[in-house]
Amino acid sequence: MGSVRVERTDDGFVARNDRGAEIAMGSGDGLFSPVELLLAAVGGCNLVTVETLTDQRGHRLVRLAVDVSAEKESPTLLKSVTVAYDVELPSEESREVFEAVAERVHERHCTVSRSLARGTEVKLVLGE
């Protein structure tokens, strides 16, 4: 489906995909931490899909954003991730469409959220 390469650089770490995009990460100012990138992936997956599906139904939302937060179970394990929508709807009819679409996306369409909820296996391959 996809892959990225993450490398240490002189300034921290960078992730690159094969389409030429890159994002710096680390713990310093102006950088996303790996957990923040995970939360961004959850939010991005939900928004991109909700936007596409509401648009297809003729309901372009005036504002569409999410705040994504996580609660830790322990220092190295997340307990839960919360996706809170911030929307401005063009009409009351759009509310019904948005809510139905957002629920469907959460339950069936967002690969990132569904993978977290299911507990996707992460395999480790040690290089030479």
Looking at residues 68-73, what average pLDDT do you find?
A: 96
Given a cut of 90, whether residue 82 has pLDDT beyond it is yes
Coil vs helix vs strand at 124: coil
Distance CA 88, CA 60 (A): 10
Residues 17-40 have a mean pLDDT of 94
Tokens 């809170």 locate to 84
Q: Which of 118, 113, 2, 99 is nearest to 50 (CA)?
A: 99
pLDDT (average), residues 1-6: 88
Is the pTM above the cut of 0.85? yes
